[in-house]
Structures are given as structure tokens and as C-alpha cells.
């Protein structure tokens, strides 16, 4: 039966898949809930979003998503606390960034109410799918792509905005080893690196495969001119601790403005940790590793939250990081997840009740 929730039409699934899911052993992003939000852009405007049963997407072979890469996405997590209240983390920032990404790819921007009310309604309908187990969450994937037709390299005239959800465990298991890239690049000056555009990810897969073959988990991207500056890790921003100072690269047209990144900066500053947002030279990190002042490196992103790095490779040499007892990564990870999961006060006003 169809009904309205928050003014959003809901078409309920006739059956549930929830009993097939082992919530104690969740992989990342591999099983999907019973419903999804769907919203279509046609004739120059967004139609009203609907919650519908999770279902296949049917597209003409000429749909521009297959040819010209017009696709953007966001990543968010929903948490359920001990009172079964549901929480999101800074969701309006995801909404804003989705539109920033869309604009750069010549895709139509979404109205805030369609995103936010659609998101809340979907989470209410699929509330039972939100894991409570520590380290697990409901990964929420809003995405927009070109569904309009044509073998002409120009923006599509039709788009789809979907939100799909996947109860998920950890993105990385344990600490990761990274390779500082010397040949390949993720993004260009004046390019789309700051957007969460699909094409930014596909371009990273091959260099990442080469790094994996050498025994690393991820690539640390550097500038495309001389590979002298540390930029980001593709699915994460990068933080580097030299002595007691926490350093991260400034955002730019090449580097994603990560929501976890800026939250980590705020938490660290609130704690009195010296934070520097500035260009990080590769040689500076290598020198610091050699002289012992390099204390920590970690990635920060929605999927991986805070992902400690055990060591890095550069120019065929491996550098190990020390195991510190009172490390920043553990503190920052606990602090941000406690806020996200309603286990601690939220002095920043980031938590958002669904």
C-alpha cells in the first residue's frame, strides 16, 4: 500500500530480505536494504522523490552514463543508538557537496528538501536494517547519474537520483600500508578532483592494483606535475603527524573537501593538538621517517572513518611507522565515532537525528 511519510510517497516492498543477512559478519557495501529512494530529472526539472522497493535500474544502451561518465555520489553512515534512535553525521554537508559535484559535471542540482526528506524517509522505512554492533553502520549511498540518451558528447537531458543503503562492517581490516605515487596521478589542476565524480575513482584502480601487487593497500596521490606534494588517498584524505603536529593538505580543485577530514581538524584543535593545513612535501615525510619525527599517518573518510597507516613505500624503499600508545588516530577515531553514534556529547552540533 502506498502512503506518505514526511510528504514523500512510499511504495513498500512486498517481502523483506533482512532475514538472509548475517549482521554479525557484515562486509562493506555488499548487501542492500529492502527500499531505495528514486527521483527523476525530466523536462528540465526534478520530479518528486519516492521510496520504492529496491529494484533494478532499466536504461537504454545509449544512456549517457554508459558513455560520458556523468555520475556523482556521496557516502554517509547512519547509526542506531541504544534507544533505537537513528543518527546521521553532518548530512547537509553531503547534500551540498553532491550539488557541488553535480555542477562541475554539468548535471542538475537537487533541491535540499528532496535530498533531506527523501533520505530521512528512506531511513525510517528501512530502520530495522541499521546495525547496532560496534564498528558496523548502515552505509548510505546517494548518487546521481545521466539516464538521458544520445551518442553525442554533451550533457544528458535526463538524470536519476537514487539513495541506496547497505548494512556494512569495516572498510579496511586493520592498519594499512601505502605507496607514495611517483608516476600516475589522480587529478589535474582545473580538473574534477574535488568532485565525488565516478571517473575520479576508475582512474585510480589500475595504479592501486599495481601497488597491491607490490604489497601495499592504497596509493597516496601526489601532484601531477612533479609528484612532490602529498595530496590524498583517493577514498580518504591524509593526515601526517610530525612530532606533535598534525598536518593535512589544503583542499583545492584537486583534493576532495572531506567531511571526516574537516571534523578531524576541528576535534584535534578542540583537544589542543597543533594542526597545520598546508602543502606537505614528500621529501619532508621521508626525512621525518628517517630522523624519527614522523609519528603517525592515517587516512580519514566516511567509509574508513580513521584508518591508521603502518608504513609507506617510496622509491622502492619501505618506511615503518612506530606503534605509539597514546596515538592521535585512536583518540580521534573514538571521539568522532562516539559523537556519530550518540555515545558522547556533541559540542560541534554535527549529529543529526532522523
| Touching a second copy, residues 55-84 (CB under 8 A) | 55-63, 65-71, 73, 75
Select from 14-22, 26-34, 42-50, 263-271 the region that touches a second copy (CB under 8 A).
Answer: 26-34
Query: Closest separation between CB of residue 303 and a second copy, Å?
Result: 8
Residue 192 is a binding residue for a second copy (CB under 8 A): yes
* Shortest CB 340 distance to a second copy, Å: 18
Which residues are CB-contacts of 125 (< 8 A; sequence separation ≥ 6)? Answer: 5, 10, 12, 34, 35, 51
Stretch that binds a second copy, among 116-124, 222-230, 257-265, 268-276 (CB under 8 A): 222-230
Out of 17, 42, 132, 152, the residue judged to bind a second copy by CB under 8 A: 152
Question: Considering the rule CB under 8 A, would residue 225 count as an interface residue with a second copy?
Answer: yes
| C-alpha cell of residue 62 | 545509449
Does the protein bind a second copy through residue 154 (CB under 8 A)? yes
The answer to the question of residue 23 lying near a second copy (CB under 8 A) is no
On whether the CB atoms of residues 241 and 294 are closer than 8 A, the answer is: yes
Binding test (CB under 8 A) with a second copy, winner from 201, 252, 276, 344: 201
Question: Least distance in Å: CB of 146 to a second copy?
Answer: 8
Q: Residue 208 in 3-state DSSP?
A: helix
Rounded CA gap, 340 and 145, in Å? Answer: 29
The reply to whether 150 sits near a second copy by the rule CB under 8 A is yes
Query: Could you say which residues in the range 250-279 bind a second copy, by CB under 8 A?
Result: none
Using a 10 angstrom Cβ sphere, with 0-12 exposed, 13-18 middle and 19 or more buried, the burial of residue 294 is buried
Instruction: Please state, as a whole number, how many other Cβ atoms lie within 10 Å of the Cβ of residue 91.
Output: 23
User: Which residues, 292 to 311, sit near a second copy by CB under 8 A?
Assistant: 303
Of positions 168, 248, 263, 307, contacts a second copy by CB under 8 A: 168
Binding of residue 191 to a second copy (CB under 8 A): yes
| Residue 329 to residue 335: CA distance in whole angstroms | 10
- The answer to whether 132 and 123 have CB atoms below 8 angstroms apart is no
Phi, psi of 265 (to 5 degrees): -60, -45
b/e per residue 150-189 (b: at least 16 CB within 10 A): beeeebbbebbbbbbbbbbbbbbeeebbbbbbeebbbbee
Query: CB of residue 173 vs a second copy: minimum separation in angstroms?
Result: 13
Q: How far is the CB of 190 from a second copy (least distance, A)?
A: 4
CA distance 14 to 1: 9
Grid cell of 11 as nine digits: 511504495
Residues numbered 102-121 forming contacts with a second copy, rule: CB under 8 A: 103-106
Under the binding rule (CB under 8 A), the answer on residue 155 touching a second copy is yes
By the 8 A CB rule, do 219 and 234 touch? yes
β-strands 137-146, 76-80 pairing = antiparallel
| Distance in Å, CB of 157 to a second copy, minimum | 11
User: CB under 8 A: which stretch of 23-31, 114-122, 280-288, 338-346 binds a second copy?
Assistant: 23-31
Among 12, 127, 149, 175, binds a second copy (CB under 8 A): 149
User: In the numeric block, which cell numbers belong to residue 83?
Assistant: 534507544
Selected from 8, 26, 110, 164, the binder of a second copy by CB under 8 A is 164
Residue among 192 and 309 whose Cβ is closer to a second copy: 192
* Closer CB to a second copy, 159 or 328, in the complex: 159
Amino acid at each position: 500500500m502506498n502512503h506518505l511519510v514526511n510528504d514523500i510517497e512510499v511504495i513498500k516492498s512486498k517481502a523483506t530480505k533482512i532475514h538472509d543477512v548475517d549482521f554479525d559478519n557484515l562486509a562493506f557495501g555488499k548487501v542492500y536494504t529492502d527500499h531505495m529512494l528514486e527521483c527523476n530529472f525530466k523536462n528540465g526539472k526534478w520530479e518528486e522523490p519516492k521510496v520504492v522497493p529496491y529494484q533494478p535500474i532499466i536504461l537504454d544502451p545509449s544512456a549517457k552514463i554508459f558513455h560520458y561518465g556523468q555520475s556523482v555520489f556521496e557516502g554517509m553512515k547512519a547509526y542506531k543508538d541504544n534507544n533505537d534512535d537513528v543518527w546521521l553525521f553532518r548530512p547537509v554537508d553531503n547534500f551540498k557537496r553532491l550539488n557541488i559535484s553535480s555542477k562541475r559535471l554539468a548535471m542538475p542540482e537537487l533541491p535540499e528538501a528532496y535530498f533531506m526528506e527523501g533520505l530521512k524517509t528512506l531511513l525510517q522505512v528501512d530502520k530495522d536494517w541499521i546495525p547496532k554492533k560496534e564498528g558496523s553502520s548502515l552505509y548510505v549511498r546517494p548518487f546521481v547519474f545521466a539516464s538521458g540518451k544520445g551518442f553525442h558528447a554533451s550533457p544528458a537531458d535526463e538524470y536519476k537520483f537514487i539513495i541506496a543503503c547497505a548494512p556494512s562492517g569495516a572498510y579496511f581490516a586493520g592498519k594499512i600500508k601505502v605507496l607514495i605515487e611517483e608516476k600516475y596521478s589522480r587529478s589535474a589542476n582545473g580538473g574534477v578532483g574535488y568532485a565525488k565524480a565516478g571517473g575520479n575513482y576508475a582512474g585510480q584502480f589500475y595504479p592501486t592494483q599495481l601497488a597491491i601487487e607490490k604489497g601495499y593497500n592504497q596509493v597516496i596521490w601526489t601532484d601531477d606535475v612533479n609528484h612532490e606534494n602529498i595530496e590524498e588517498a583517493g577514498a580518504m584524505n591524509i593526515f601526517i603527524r610530525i612530532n606533535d603536529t598534525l598536518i593535512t593538505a589544503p583542499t583545492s580543485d584537486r583534493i576532495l573537501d572531506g567531511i571526516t577530514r574537516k571534523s578531524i581538524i576541528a576535534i584535534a584543535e578542540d583537544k589542543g593538538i597543533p594542526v597545520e593545513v598546508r602543502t606537505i612535501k614528500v621529501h619532508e615525510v621521508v626525512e621525518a621517517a628517517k630522523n624519527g619525527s614522523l609519528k603517525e599517518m592515517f587516512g580519514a573518510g566516511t567509509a574508513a572513518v580513521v584508518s591508521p597507516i603502518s608504513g609507506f613505500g617510496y622509491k622502492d624503499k619501505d618506511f615503518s611507522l612506530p606503534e605509539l600508545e597514546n596515538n592521535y588516530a585512536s583518540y580521534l577515531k573514538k571521539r568522532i565515532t562516539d559523537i556519530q553514534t550518540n555515545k558522547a556529547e556533541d559540542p560541534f552540533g554535527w549529529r543529526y537525528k532522523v
